[in-house]
C-alpha cells in the first residue's frame, strides 16, 4: 500500500488538493490522507469549502508521497514552522515529494528546491528563484523525486504523471478513463500565452 499525505492549511485552494486526491485515491493500492496540525475541518481560500484533515502531522511523519497544495494561504503558511518542518522531515523518506500551484513555495521554504527545476502558477513563476530554484514554465516538472505542477488545475496532470512513474502507464490510463479526463475547455484561455490580451490582470484579481 502506498501512503499519500496531503497537508491542508487555512486558505488552501480546493482543486489543488482534490484534483490529485481524486486521481490517486482511484488508483488501486493507494491510501490518501488529509493531514494538518490537528485533525479537523480546514477552510479553503473562498471561505465556502471545508475539507476535513483526519490525521495530524505527528500521526503521519513518513508517508511515501506528499502532495502540497497551493492557495492564497501559502503567504501565512510560509511562516508555519510546524508545516514546513513536517514537509522537510517527510521529504527525507518520501519516494515522491510533490506540489501544486503555490505549494512549490512551501517546498522552497522547507529548503527542498535549491538547484532544482520547479514550477508554480504562471503569475508567480519568477519568484521561485528566491528559493534557489530554477523556474520552469511547464505544466509538470520532474526533478529527481520532486514533482511540481503549475496552477490549480494542473494537479490533475501532475498526479497522472506521478501515478505512471510510481506504478505504470496502464494504471494511470485506467484512472484517466475512469474519471473521463478527456478535457475540452470551451476556450483557449488557460495560459497567458494563448489567452486574450489584457486577461492576465483580471485573472490575477480573482485569485489575490
The Cα–Cα gap between 38 and 106 comes to: 19
- Taking CB under 8 A as the criterion, which residues in 156-195 touch its own copies? 156-157, 160-161, 164, 169-170, 172-187, 189-192, 194-195
Grid cell locating 140: 509538470
**Is the Cα torsion angle 169, 172, 174, 177 positive or negative in sign?**
negative
Residue 52 or 111: which CB sits closer to its own copies?
Answer: 52
Q: What per-residue string of b and e applies to 18-55 under the rule 16 or more CB within 10 Å gives b?
A: bbbbbbbebbeebebbbbbbeeeebbbbeeebebebee
Residue 77 or 156: which CB sits closer to its own copies?
Answer: 156
Query: Would you count residue 28 as binding its own copies (CB under 8 A)?
Result: yes
What is the nearest approach in angstroms of its own copies to the Cβ of residue 101?
8
Choosing from 37, 49, 78, 88, the residue that interacts with its own copies (CB under 8 A) is 49
Catalytic site residue 101? yes
Q: Which residues pair with 30 in a beta bridge?
A: 2
What is the nearest approach in angstroms of its own copies to the Cβ of residue 112?
22
The Cα–Cα gap between 48 and 59 comes to: 27
Query: Would you count residue 139 as binding its own copies (CB under 8 A)?
Result: yes
The Cα–Cα gap between 4 and 34 comes to: 9
Are 162 and 94 within 8 A, CB to CB?
no
Choosing from 3, 33, 56, 127, the residue that interacts with its own copies (CB under 8 A) is 33
What is the nearest approach in angstroms of its own copies to the Cβ of residue 196?
6
Query: Would you count residue 142 as binding its own copies (CB under 8 A)?
Result: no
Query: For residue 41, what is the DSSP state?
Result: E
Stretch that binds its own copies, among 19-27, 58-66, 79-87, 109-117 (CB under 8 A): 19-27
Of the candidates 101, 133, 140, 150, the residue annotated as catalytic is 101
List of residues 6+ apart from 141 with CB closer than 8 A: 117, 118, 119, 147, 148, 149
Residues in the site for its own copies, rule: CB under 8 A?
13-15, 18-19, 21-22, 25-28, 31-34, 41, 46, 48-52, 54, 101, 121-122, 139-140, 150-154, 156-157, 160-161, 164, 169-170, 172-187, 189-192, 194-196, 199-200, 202-204, 206-207
Amino acid at each position: 500500500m502506498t501512503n499519500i499525505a496531503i497537508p491542508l492549511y487555512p486558505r488552501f485552494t480546493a482543486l489543488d488538493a482534490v484534483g490529485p486526491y481524486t486521481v490517486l485515491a482511484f488508483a488501486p493500492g493507494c491510501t490518501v490522507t488529509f493531514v494538518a496540525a490537528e485533525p479537523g475541518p480546514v477552510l479553503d481560500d473562498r471561505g465556502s469549502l471545508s475539507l476535513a484533515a483526519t490525521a495530524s502531522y505527528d500521526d503521519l511523519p513518513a508517508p511515501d508521497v506528499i502532495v502540497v497544495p497551493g492557495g492564497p494561504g501559502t503567504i501565512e503558511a510560509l511562516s508555519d514552522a510546524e508545516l514546513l518542518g513536517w514537509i522537510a522531515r517527510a521529504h527525507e523518506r518520501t519516494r515522491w515529494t510533490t506540489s501544486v500551484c503555490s505549494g512549490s513555495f512551501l517546498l522552497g521554504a522547507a529548503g527542498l528546491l535549491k538547484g532544482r527545476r520547479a514550477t508554480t502558477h504562471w503569475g508567480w513563476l519568477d519568484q521561485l528563484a528566491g528559493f534557489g530554484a530554477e523556474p520552469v514554465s511547464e505544466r509538470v516538472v520532474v526533478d529527481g523525486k520532486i514533482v511540481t505542477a503549475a496552477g490549480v488545475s494542473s494537479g490533475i496532470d501532475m498526479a497522472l504523471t506521478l501515478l505512471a512513474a510510481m506504478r505504470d502507464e496502464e494504471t494511470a490510463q485506467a484512472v484517466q478513463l475512469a474519471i473521463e479526463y478527456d478535457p475540452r475547455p470551451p476556450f483557449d484561455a488557460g495560459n497567458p500565452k494563448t489567452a486574450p490580451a489584457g486577461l492576465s490582470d483580471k485573472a490575477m484579481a480573482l485569485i489575490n
